[in-house]
Structure 1
Amino acid sequence: MSKEAERAALEADKQRLIREGELYRIKVVHAKALVGNALQPDALVQGVVEHAVGLAQSRLGGLLQPGGLQGMDVKWLMPYAVTVGSFLMRKRMFKPMLVLVAAAGLGAAWLRRRRTVETEQE
């Protein structure tokens, strides 16, 4: 190789390294922005709500219907449930709400037990 070809190859390598460094710095800035955005209160609350919905679907899905919650979009219902829950908390109706939830739970358990007894008798 001639000296000019070596110089051109070194210059090309140098330019490639500079572009890679710029790309690396851009990725670092982007990652910092993503982390900063993920730590915003509204993003944290959204993550918590999505986690709670997933947990409710996995734990309570069998109580509502035999196939789970596939036919019902719980994520669509959650804003309404949060609105109703916040209204009840503002009006200081927490204890009556707990009584209502407990009664609904007992009713669901009674219905489920009754259905299992009926299916066993058949």
Structure 2
Amino acid sequence: MSKEAERAAVEADKQRLIREGELYRIKVVHAKALVGNALQPDALLHGAVDQAIGMAQARLGGLLQPGGLKSVNFKALLPYALTVGSYIARKRLVKPAMGVALAAGVGMAWLLRRQPAPQDEQE
């Protein structure tokens, strides 16, 4: 190789390294911005709610009909549940609400026990 070809190759390597360094700095700035946004209180709360909903679906999924809790859209129901919960708390109806929930649970258990068990097919 001639001296000019070597200089051109070295210059090309320098330019490539400079571009890679710029890209690396841009990625670092972008990552810092993502972390800053992820640490905002609303993003933390949203992540915690998503985690709790996922855990509830995983733990309680087999309790309901086929499909489990996957067919229930908890994210759509959560604002209504919070509204009802805050109304109950403001009006100091916590104990009556717990009584109604207990009665509903006992009623559901009674209904589920009354249903005839599915019979297996006989050969």
**TM-score, normalised by the number of residues in structure 1:** 0.80
Q: CA deviation at 1:4?
A: 0.9
Q: 1:54 to 1:107 in 2, by over 3 A?
A: farther
2:117 equivalent to 1:119: yes
Q: How does 1:1-122 map to 2 (within 5 A)?
A: 1-115=1-115, 118-119=116-117
Higher relative contact order (CA 8 A, sep 6+): 1
1:119 partner amino acid: A
Alpha-carbon distance between aligned partners in 1 of 2:104 and 2:64, rounded to the nearest angstrom: 12
Query: Cα RMSD over matched residues?
Result: 2.3
| Equivalent residues of 1:38, 1:44 under 8 A apart | yes
List gaps (5 residues or longer) in structure 2: none
2:67 partner amino acid: G
Q: Alignment length, in residue pairs?
A: 120
Q: CA deviation at 1:109?
A: 2.4
**TM-score, normalised by the number of residues in structure 2:** 0.80
List gaps (5 residues or longer) in structure 1: none
% identity of equivalent residues: 70
Alpha-carbon distance between aligned partners in 2 of 1:106 and 1:51, rounded to the nearest angstrom: 29
Q: 1:104 to 1:58 in 2, by over 3 A?
A: farther
Alpha-carbon distance between aligned partners in 2 of 1:57 and 1:107, rounded to the nearest angstrom: 23
Alpha-carbon distance between aligned partners in 2 of 1:44 and 1:110, rounded to the nearest angstrom: 40
1:17 partner amino acid: L
Greater fraction helix: 1
